Amino acid sequence: MNLPDFGLGSWPARRARIDPDRTALVQHDRSLTYAGLADRVRRLAGALTRLGVRPGDRVAYLGVNDITVFETLFATARCGALFVPLNYRLSPTEIRYMLDDAGASVLVHSADTADLVAAAGGLPDGVVIATAGGGFEAEIAEGGPRPDTPVRLEDPCLLLYTSGTTGRPKAAVLTHGNLTWNTVNQLAHLDVLGTDKALCIAPLFHCVGLGQITLPTLFKGGSVEPVAKFDPGTILARIGEAGITSFSAVPTMLEMMWRHEAWDRTDLSSLTCVLYGGSPVAGRVARAWLDRGVKLLQGYGMTEASPGVSMATHEGTLDHPVAAGVPHFFTDVAALGPDLTPQPLDGTPAELLVRGPHVFAGYWHRPEESAAGFVDGGWFRTGDVVRVDDDGWAHVVDRVKDMIISGGENVYPAEIEAVAAGLDEVDACAVVGVPDARWGEAGAAFVVLRPGAELDEQQFRAHLERHLARYKIPKHVLFTDTLPRNATGKIRRVELRTLAAETFTNGPA
């Protein structure tokens, strides 16, 4: 049989695209080629095996963004085990809870989290603690068997704990297939190149840090630079110095960079794409980046979707600066109908349903919650209220659980917060529901002013009344110095609801 000539003999000349000698990871004065990364991953997998890690076990990591996080992630997968990145900003009690909940057998941690590990004390029985660097490097250098356990797309790869803004965090189980299909969706949506130089500034214990930009860049053979601590001035300087082409972030990071004194003099010309997600961004912040010529795209997603569901496009962003874009290529979306069945999305706000090969396998050891999250043949209930314009672009209206029902009317806090953000004096605003004897629920607005700004309640209300129906105007307004946020910048609304109930429930009717 004569086979077609696929150019096999020309392979050595085509190494510019997939080249083991290209830089995969860089951090400060350390860098790893793809060949070097592969070797260290094999050695680390051997070290984990000697520590007792077997297929299906859980290996936790506690520490800031670092090359070691990627090495541990890939080595854990090579063992057929599950990687569990932990939020180093949590309390010792919360860390201990997650280790116990995941049933981790090994905890790898960076040297700078040693005090946190010690404070956690009384770790679950059988957990082996290994410190990245030092003796751990000696383990990696040691010879011996280096496992390469075969895994299938449906096998679990990662446990990512949700932010826990509504209570005890639970872990989403992401499979190798989930991560692969999310990467494919990103690459279908974006022009990621093997020559890209990406910063990884969003934390790697969060879905944005892993799934957006970072893994797709590594998939294409580009270079990723993990950043241990976010500092707006440092990030701006690094963009110009290194010719950074892309990064993903949460909106608070974008705003901090925009406000930094170095913003106007920073060379941003190398940036080909900046993705953000996790929460809405103020229109003025998005416009500031777009006005500098940066291709800023909002991505909408969630941990349970690995995380991508939809993303803006370069062609439509100028007309839709804060919209969540259009669905990814291998993503199905629908609205939750009144009979809990899918129906078409339209201009009417409705809870979003999502389905696709990137949607997670369920919550770790929570079968009832996992089952409750799906309806009618595998559609996942996102809990987000979305409306879709006639041109197909989606807008995230609010969380279902955050919606306020006041006098029978649906009031979406995010809509009020967006209008409030239009005031130059307002730095941040959060609206929550509070029990009300007359209306059932009423809105309570917590407002943070910019440094040096002056604004009273009457002026604040007057601004809202010019843009919103009267029933949407919060009944209560409280000016405060700060809003409680979690590690990824999301507002802790549970705390605000408690504070609002304590402050306003017994107040004037």
The confidence band for 17, taking pLDDT boundaries of 50, 70 and 90, is low
Written as one letter, the residue type at 85 is P
The confidence band for 398, taking pLDDT boundaries of 50, 70 and 90, is confident
Q: What is the pairing mode between strands 440-449 and 476-479?
A: parallel
How confident is the model at residue 438, as a pLDDT?
82
The confidence band for 12, taking pLDDT boundaries of 50, 70 and 90, is very low
**Residue 140 φ then ψ, to 5°:** -65, -40
Which helix (H) or strand (E) covers residue 492, if one does?
A: none
Please compute the mean of the pLDDT values over residues 358-367 and round it to a whole number.
Answer: 95
**pTM, full prediction:** 0.84
How confident is the model at residue 163, as a pLDDT?
61
* Residues 38, 45: Cα–Cα separation, whole Å: 11
C-alpha pair distances (Å), 64 with each of 226, 491, 492: 9, 22, 22
How confident is the model at residue 356, as a pLDDT?
97
Written as one letter, the residue type at 432 is V
**Is-contact 314 410, C-beta < 8 A?**
no
pLDDT at 165 over 60: no
* Residues 205, 192: Cα–Cα separation, whole Å: 23
How confident is the model at residue 9, as a pLDDT?
40
Tokens of residue 420, six digits: 């409030």
Rg of the chain over all Cα atoms, to the nearest angstrom: 24
Say how many C-beta atoms besides its own lie within 10 A of residue 114's C-beta: 14
pLDDT at 231 over 70: yes
Give per-residue burial for 154-184: e unless 16+ CB within 10 Å, then b.
ebbbbbbbbbbbeeebbbbbbbbbbbbbbbb
Please compute the mean of the pLDDT values over residues 21-32 and round it to a whole number.
Answer: 95
How confident is the model at residue 3, as a pLDDT?
37
**Is-contact 486 163, C-beta < 8 A?**
yes
**Is-contact 62 88, C-beta < 8 A?**
yes
Please compute the mean of the pLDDT values over residues 348-362 and round it to a whole number.
Answer: 95
Round the average pLDDT of the chain to a whole number and report it.
89
Domains and CATH numbers, the chain: 23-394 (3.40.50.12780), 403-504 (3.30.300.30)
Tens digit of each residue's pLDDT (9 = 90 or more) over 100-136? 999 999 999 999 999 999 998 878 888 888 888 777 7
